[in-house]
Structure 1
């Protein structure tokens, strides 16, 4: 029997949902259909052009068209399109690892390349667990994470993610071996009578007391985002925070794991966001992604220190974690070309210069607007936090939808930005993220800021009592 299917794409039903064979992430509205991209812009099927001021979710670091990357993938496919990482390797994977780790940043010397950022988190958690088993300390299987953190959307990654709305449906699956401590979020978490040093000391005390309560013989690692992205909105740590966390972890024999899937690989003007933190010496395990491959292919990674590798190499000699598409040669070839372009064109220099401009112009043009509370970030990784009353630091009520409306109006004006992604925890944070491609020009930065101001003013003038 032959079944005739309607092949018309995105036909809109009366309820506003598209007739599509794709199970779209939102059923509320019809997704916009992108048909092409060039530079920092993409074009929709209705002919409208959008400035991608967030690079998707901080992914498209080289913009939306780079012939060199396409050519690199084609060369790889013509040579070898797939290799199974069990017992085999490829030049593409080896060369990418050598490029990323050539100077052994912070003592990191080995790489595992996987697909999504969530998968990288799962691999990192499993690596930490295996490390302690190989080291003869299997009781160290508890993890400490931070409230309102985000490390991915697989079940393993959600277990260490302090993102309440994304965990809500899956509570029966959430692991019981994860304890959460406060984030480093001075704008809302630091007391009005506290200095930075006192605030830092309070966070240090909380972590140490948590370790003591669980027992250092039971704690495997402390995992945190160097600069939290979607949950809190590009919040740099207070001075000395990472070094303090490093000292406490070292004191109690605990691994320090940094998640730089969103904030790393150049967004701060340094290849690794932790390199902005003074004398901080680096993590034991680090996850990377998004800008690693620039969105041309799905790829992320786990970077490990030599001691992690040595424990396994001198023990079972087998990495217990693995996937079919691990270190996929096409993905590695694309990511390697992305990283070569960043280096050859000194795009980190452009990130630093344009980031200073973005900060300067946003603060000049947006700070006086009635609901702009805090403008923060580093490099080309910035957020605007909106408040009902910025002077009193009174937040919007949960469900107000202010930042959602800003994102919606911005798109109508031809600007793509990233908004608040659900309810993340104790602090209700209404924010938008601006993390444009590293290739953005001086004129384009000014255009982004102009459109941001126009957007926020338009939302405030809609008459709704936010």
Structure 2
């Protein structure tokens, strides 16, 4: 076989042969795409749940891209809002000016927290939001009284992903994405185990309570190892997205995390870039009758000091993300320097904020988070019915319209496939072909950072029952066909997982 190069594409490891790379000389695109081996499919339009390609095919977007297109594609109301704002003002520098769209969406988001958050900061991507959160945490410790300039360390979790800029990458735990850049990443970070019941609970006696106590003790020990007065913040996704595949915390976990942070004076940052803005369909409570944030769900049950959001904030109509800070942090800055020592050219962009405000009003006016809960329950139920007993599926988990399917070579031992087998990407690629025409978001590293394959389903919030049935039936057909068609291939390549895969293929054919 020709020499190959291993790249990271969308959280999935992809291997390119030398011939693939050489063939790119004849590629038609001048864009530096995520892969240089081939040009991606070209989308010419989108409407509702479907993306229309230049070859005449249409793809059911069952993942909203990367859990982005939360109200589907091509909504005329959002398009009109952007056009109208463009006729007023498209851009002005946030150092000198403010605009109504930024004020509108900020008030909407702050109001949605029932007083927990005080100010919102708008940028263009989730990675930028995490960068801003890390900087704000640092500045808070410098300006509070008494100041603690020694707090420079951030604790995160293994198999976590918080963005791809150097600062966000440094605090994250996505092994494959970090690998090339380890020598230039900040060393002021460390990681503890994720709250990942499928692989983290030791045995049938390790129920939620003991498991939470074990994770709490591990986090406490990490604070002690680093030096409790050196930790600036702990950062985590309330519901882990691409890195683990829609992993929910066990009950009581984040309350334990909050205890440790408060015990040692560190901040709690929650990264809701992927799982927020209604994606998990948070359950209503007396305090939050119409929740949109993941931390408002009773399963999480605690408010962060700083939170980030993106993706579903603007539904993909414009690049927009946000960081929200609580009153404690804002008060320290107001009585200190009087400013957040951070800024970007497209901060608070009028078109992006206008799009976000309309998307959020549509979600609220049409009660779409309630639909997320309803259709999400059906989606999970049908996935388990159709695929729960499949020999290559170890776990199906999620909440709302955020579901993950984890593949295993051995269901009883939870042994993952080898990373070079490319199972998740293979399932995705098969789904994109005729007759399936469905997008299934692939991810890797769920078992140990490198091995472990999963796919995500994250359709639009306005999905119907008929759409859910279509998604589940198509997904099930793709998974079953993948292991029927490609199972024997692993055996011919002599890989370590070959025997398990061959057995899976034979079982599925029966």
**After the TM superposition, which residues 61-460 of structure 1 pair with which residues of structure 2 at under 5 Å, given as runs?**
61-105=70-114, 107-135=116-144, 136-192=147-203, 193-270=205-282, 271-278=292-299, 280-412=301-433, 413-421=436-444, 425-426=448-449, 428-460=451-483
- The answer for the alignment partner of 2:496 in structure 1 is none
Give me the whole-angstrom Cα distance separating, in 2, the residues matched to 1:278 and 1:267: 15
- The answer for the alignment partner of 2:23 in structure 1 is 15
- The answer for the alignment partner of 2:9 in structure 1 is none
Q: Are the equivalent residues in 2 in contact too, given 1:120–1:287 (CA < 8 A)? A: yes
Q: Please state if 1:464 is matched with 2:486.
A: no
Distance 1:139 1:95, change over 3 A: same
Distance 1:164 1:426, change over 3 A: closer
Quote how far apart the aligned CAs of 1:404 are: 1.2
Q: Are the equivalent residues in 1 in contact too, given 2:159–2:445 (CA < 8 A)? A: no
Unaligned runs of 5+ in 1: 1-11
Q: Give CA deviations for 1:293-352 in whole Å, capped at 9, x if unaligned.
A: 000000000010001101001100011010011000110000000000000111101101
Of the structure 1 ranges 206-215 and 418-427, higher mean CA displacement relative to structure 2 is found in 418-427
TM-score (norm 2): 0.87
Q: Are the equivalent residues in 2 in contact too, given 1:159–1:178 (CA < 8 A)? A: yes
For 1:405, what is the secondary structure of its paired residue?
A: helix
Quote how far apart the aligned CAs of 1:460 are: 1.1
For 1:143, what is the secondary structure of its paired residue?
A: strand
Quote how far apart the aligned CAs of 1:426 are: 4.3
Quote how far apart the aligned CAs of 1:400 are: 1.7
For 2:81, what is the secondary structure of its paired residue?
A: helix
Q: Are the equivalent residues in 1 in contact too, given 2:410–2:416 (CA < 8 A)? A: yes
Give me the whole-angstrom Cα distance separating, in 2, the residues matched to 1:257 and 1:106: 17
Runs of 4+ that moved beyond 3 A: 103-106, 421-427
Q: Are the equivalent residues in 1 in contact too, given 2:175–2:449 (CA < 8 A)? A: no
Note the aligned Cα RMSD (angstroms).
1.6
Distance 1:426 1:73, change over 3 A: closer
Give me the whole-angstrom Cα distance separating, in 2, the residues matched to 1:319 and 1:398: 42
Quote how far apart the aligned CAs of 1:247 are: 1.1
Aligned length: 455
The counterpart of 2:45, out of the listed 23, 26, 36, is: 36
- The answer for the alignment partner of 1:7 in structure 2 is none
Q: Are the equivalent residues in 2 in contact too, given 1:222–1:249 (CA < 8 A)? A: yes
Q: Please state if 1:57 is matched with 2:66.
A: yes
